[in-house]
Amino acid sequence: MFIRFVAPRALRSARADSGIFGPAYAFRDSRATPDYLRNEIAQEITWFCDCLPVPKRFGVVTRKSRRPYAGICWFRDDARSAIAHANTLATLLGECDVPITRVITDAPGDIVYRDDMQVVAMPRPETPVRWH
């Protein structure tokens, strides 16, 4: 099983809902965010920067367009520490009025990268997901 934390679709051209990190960086860097929230969001981002590997591959290049076709990152369900920190980050973003939802699937798509905590998968239209 794979888990993804998503925010509402922020970009009109996005093929998938925005992940949790874009809004987290935006609120960490915004002067409008209260100091205590900025600091707590920054602590969570620092944990991810220190502990979550950066995928070596995020997608594939299609023959037609020659542009990268971006994959979507999913936490593995056994990555308990990463999921706990993502839950904390989701709670903090909720305090910023950004609703974060957990999405769960057994079939994230074609996996192009894998490590101990996450996968990057090329989504398929028929990918079954459950919203929590």
Q: Tell me the per-residue pLDDT of 14-28, one tens digit each, with 9 for 90 and over.
A: 455 688 999 999 999
Range of the domain at 102: 2-8+17-131
pLDDT at 81: 98
The whole model's pTM is what? 0.83
Domain count, the chain: 1
Mean pLDDT over each residue of the chain, to the nearest integer: 85
When mean pLDDT is compared over 43-52, 55-64, 108-117, 121-130, the highest value belongs to: 43-52
Dist CA 43 CA 37 (whole Å): 10
% of the chain with per-residue pLDDT over 90 = 66
For the cut 60, the answer to whether the pLDDT of residue 70 exceeds it is yes
